[in-house]
């Protein structure tokens, strides 16, 4: 899941108007941002699920970044970094958005998310496996994108109306959220960029 | 690659578009401020 996370963040922005959008977007991708260097270093890996390929067809061995405790620690670290710049409320919101990544991934991942970092203790791995039904997981992602873009646009339009300027920019920003999300989902589903 | 494009799209481009909107200041909902 990629696009769905950003759709969720756009929805959060519609409720937390004071929280910078770029920080919300970075927060929602934070676990995957940390995953990238660990993947390049060979510490976290991907493999094709048996009989599956393409969208949602991977078993992801992100045993540190996507373990329950690892995700909580990374989310807390993101919130702590935000605290000095934007205060307690935004820090809490951003930490929760960062952790929302793990919750949304829990729905789609194929039972590959450990509880403790490094799968310490070999506890049961988590994941409801919605990726086994690609049409269903695509639909969930699309719903997050559309709902997030709509809620964001509605909040942006109200803020612009209250300020007496920015209505056109609000419309542009709303359309950007919608078409950006649909583009990312389409690229993810088709594997056009690899 | 899709993930990197998405981060650039939403964090950088989305953030820039959003900055031009008349949102409240980041600390406006802090208690006592």
Chain A, chain B: beta-carbon pairs less than 8 Å apart: 107
Which is more confidently placed, A46 or A193? A46
Residues 6+ away with beta carbon under 8 Å from A155: A13, A14, A15, A17
Does A154 contact B at CB distance below 8 Å? Answer: no
Exposure of A111 by Cβ count < 10 A (0-12 exposed, 13-18 middle, 19+ buried)? middle
Q: Chain B: nearest CA to A116, how far in angstroms?
A: 25
Contact A6 B13 (CB under 8 A): no
Closest-CA residue of chain A to B27: A86
Report residue A131's pLDDT band, with 50, 70 and 90 as the boundaries.
Answer: very high
Residues of A numbered 164-183 whose beta carbons fall under 8 angstroms of chain B's beta carbons: which are they? 165-166, 169-170, 172-173, 176-177, 180, 183
Q: Please state, for a pLDDT cut of 90, what percent of chain A lies above it.
A: 95
Burial A20-52, CB ≥16 within 10 A → b, else e: bbbbbbbbbbbbbbbbeeebeeeebeeeebeee
**Range(s) of the domain holding residue A176:** 3-190
Provide the mean pLDDT of chain A: 96
Provide the mean pLDDT of chain B: 85
Question: Which two tokens mark A123?
Answer: 């506890």
Does A18 contact B at CB distance below 8 Å? Answer: yes
Mean pLDDT of A65-85: 97
Which pLDDT score is estimated for B31?
Answer: 57
Residue of A25, A30, A23 whose CA lies nearest to A8: A25
pLDDT tens readout for residues A19-37: 999 999 999 999 999 999 9
Overall number of domains in chain A: 1
Does A62 contact B at CB distance below 8 Å? Answer: no
Q: Chain B: nearest CA to A146, how far in angstroms?
A: 15
Q: Which residues on neighbouring strands pair with residue A126, listed in sequence order?
A: A113
Q: Chain B: nearest CA to A103, how far in angstroms?
A: 18
Closest Cβ–Cβ partner in A2, A159, A173 for B17: A173
Contact residues on chain A for B18, CB-CB shorter than 8 A:
13, 20-22, 156, 173
């Amino acid at each position: 899941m990629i696009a769905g996370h950003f759709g969720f963040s756009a929805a959060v922005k519609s409720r937390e108007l004071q929280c910078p959008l770029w920080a919300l977007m970075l927060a929602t991708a934070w676990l995957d941002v940390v995953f990238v260097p660990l993947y390049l270093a060979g510490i976290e890996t991907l493999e094709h699920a048996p009989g599956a390929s393409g969208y949602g067809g991977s078993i992801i061995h992100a045993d540190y970044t996507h373990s329950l405790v690892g995700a909580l620690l990374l989310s807390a670290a993101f919130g702590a970094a935000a605290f000095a710049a934007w205060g307690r409320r935004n820090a809490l919101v951003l930490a929760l958005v960062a952790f929302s990544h793990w919750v949304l991934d829990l729905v789609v991942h194929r039972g590959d998310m450990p509880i403790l970092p490094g799968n310490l203790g070999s506890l049961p791995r988590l994941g409801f496996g919605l990726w086994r039904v690609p049409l269903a997981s695509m639909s969930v992602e699309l719903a997050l994108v559309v709902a997030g873009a709509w809620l964001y646009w509605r909040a942006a339009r109200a803020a612009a109306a209250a300020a007496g300027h920015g209505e056109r920019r609000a419309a542009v920003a709303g359309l950007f959220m919608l078409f950006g999300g649909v583009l990312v989902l389409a690229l993810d589903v088709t594997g056009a960029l690899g | 690659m899709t993930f990197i494009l998405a981060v650039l799209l939403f964090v950088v481009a989305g953030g820039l578009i959003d900055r031009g909107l008349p949102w409240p200041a980041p600390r406006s909902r802090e208690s006592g401020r």
